[in-house]
Amino acid sequence: MARTGRPRGFDEEQVIERARDLFWSRGYGATSVQELLNHLALQRGSMYGTFGDKRALYLRAVELYVRENRRYLQAVLQRDPLLPALRELLVEPALLTGAVEREPTRGCLVGNTTAELVPADEEARALVVTAYDGFIEDVATALARAQANGEVARSAAPEAQAQLLLLLFQGSALIARADQGDRQRVAAGIDAALESLRA
C-alpha cells in the first residue's frame, strides 16, 4: 500500500496571500527566509517542500497579486462614465486589492518587482510583462468603448492612450511609496493627462 504522507496543516492559498503581503510591504531582498518562516508560521521543510525556495514563493505571490489586480481593474473599467473611474484608479493606485486598508505606501507589487528583480530574473520579467500587457489590453478595450460613446477623444489609438495610463499608474504608485503626505500635485498631473483624453 502506497504511503500518502502526512496531510498539510496549512492552507496553501492563505500562505501565498500572507507571503504576498510581507513581500509587498518589505520587498524581496529585504525579506529573509527566517522572517518569511516566522510570518507564515511554517517550518523550513514545509516551505521548501510545498513552495520551493524563497524566490519560487515570491513569484507565486506576484502571480496572485496580478490575478487579483486584473479582476479589480476589469470591474473598475465597467463603470460609465469611464474617465472618473480611471481618475480614482490613478489617484489612489493602492485601491487595487484593497491595499488602502492595509498599508497605502506599498506601491504596486508589479512595479516593485520590476524595479528590484528585472531584467536579471527572466521569470519575474515575464510575469511583469504579462501584467503590463493585461493592463493595456483591458484599458484599451474600455477606452475604445468610451471613444465610441463620445466620452474620450479619438485623437490617438486606444492602445496608445492605455500605454499613457499605464505610465501614469506606475508613476503614481511609485511616488506613493516615497510621499506619504499631500498627493494633490500628483492628482493635478493625472487630471491634466485625463483632460487630454476627454472628447
Give the range among 27-36, 45-54, 156-165 with minimum mean pLDDT.
45-54
Q: What tens digit of pLDDT does each residue of 102-117 get?
A: 555 678 899 999 999 9
**Is residue 23 a contact partner of residue 56, using CB atoms and an 8 Å limit?**
no
What pLDDT does 182 receive? 61
Confidence of residue 185 (pLDDT cuts 50, 70, 90): confident
Confidence of residue 93 (pLDDT cuts 50, 70, 90): low
- Calculate mean pLDDT across residues 41-67: 93
Whether residue 2 has pLDDT greater than 50: no
Which DSSP category does 193 fall into?
Answer: H
What pLDDT does 100 receive? 45
Q: pTM here?
A: 0.86
